[in-house]
Amino acid sequence: MTDIRIATHEEIDTIAPLVDGYRQFYRQPSDLEGARAFLAERDRRGDAHLLVAYDAGDTAVGFAQLFPIPSTTTLGSRWILNDLFVVPEARCRGIGSALLQAARELASEHGIAQLMLRTQVENAAAQSRYRALGWQRDDAFHTFLLTV
């Protein structure tokens, strides 16, 4: 049984290793203190929504982090599901899907009409899961990055 909860300030130390694991998945060096500081800053600013998945033993096994952004085209807001991670030993148990569903429900509760996410081109497993849950690939726009 998975329990999805909105993270609190008191859970930052519990969640930081998940964020560090997520970063390592994307080939970043481990930085547990940096992950902790990043989460504390999000909490202080209130500029993100963080969902955490706990297993039956009340161990944090995954998270999803959403960031609100204004949308001029819709004259409203949308949220970017910027981060989704489940620890390797807890994968293939529906936790990622539960986090995605919880994100959808949280957005709906806040009156948000659209969620967005990006994933690596070669991450076929994640893309398959997103499609199965109703997400649609946007072929109308390309993403461009500029390092400054």
Which amino acid is located at 67 in the chain? F
With a cut of 90, say whether residue 124 has pLDDT above it. no
C-beta atoms surrounding 77 within 10 Å: 15
- What is the Cα–Cα distance from 116 to 133, expressed in whole angstroms? 13
DSSP reduced 3-state for 48:
coil
69-115 residue pLDDT tens? 998 988 889 999 999 999 999 998 999 999 999 999 999 999 998 99
User: Taking a C-beta distance cutoff of 8 angstroms, is the pair 35, 11 a contact?
Assistant: no
29-45 residue pLDDT tens? 999 999 999 999 999 99
Structure tokens at 22: 């997520």
